[in-house]
Amino acid sequence: MIPPVTWNSGVRMVTSAAQVVTGKPLKEAQYEWETGIAHMRKLKANGAVAYTGAPQAIQSLQSGQVPVVPFYGIFINPLIDKGAPILPSTALAEGKHGEIVGLNMPTNAKNRELAEVYINLSLSKEFQSKIDSILRAPAAHKEISPSNRTLELNGPSNNIGYADWAYLSKNRSKITEKWNEVFG
């Protein structure tokens, strides 16, 4: 199962496919996303499908219908923590793939004050501590150190690599167009 391209993890599947084909690390292969799409065409021919929501993918994984689903840790780590028979992500030779999740507010938001309250709440130490303790993902707050369990599931932060989202965002419409030619 493959995440939809409308999710960042779907775009990352494209870059991961490029890594498989080229043998290059993420920092190089992500710029060859068209090679990744071509490889995904082969995966689809062999039965790979794109899922449309996390619950669908989680159910398929837990039932054994599919052997692996690429997820953000926040979706799967809480289930692993509760004893689900799912293995955490494996570190690649270059490290694990991480993603940065951002909070955005439109310039002319109608409820700007309410949006600011939400953003500030989301970035607070209390809220960010739950990112670690409940979602088992590294928190962005500089005063929150990852718990032992979060480190066990994700590894140390210096072993997590991030995509060049400035580049991928500029090419998002092209990536989506090519994706839709395969999975649309």
pLDDT at 81: 83
pLDDT in tens, 102-115: 777 888 888 889 98
pTM over 0.85: no
| Secondary structure of the chain in HEC code, one letter for each residue | CECCCCCHHHHHHHHHHHHHHHCCCHHHHHHHHHHHHHHHHHHHHCCCCECCCHHHHHHHHHCCCCCCCCCCHHHHHHHHHCCCCCCCCCCECCEEEECCCCCCCCCCCCCHHHHHHHHHHHHCHHHHHHHHHCCCCCCCCCCCCCCHHHHHHHCCHHHEEECCHHHHHHCHHHHHHHHHHHHC
Q: Stretch 6-17: mean pLDDT, rounded?
A: 86
Average pLDDT over residues 25-34: 94
pLDDT band at 91 (very low <50, low <70, confident <90, very high): low
Domain ranges of the chain: 8-183
pLDDT tens digits, one per residue of 115-142: 899 989 999 999 999 988 988 888 888 8
pLDDT score, position 75 = 72
Given a cut of 80, is residue 150 above it in pLDDT? yes
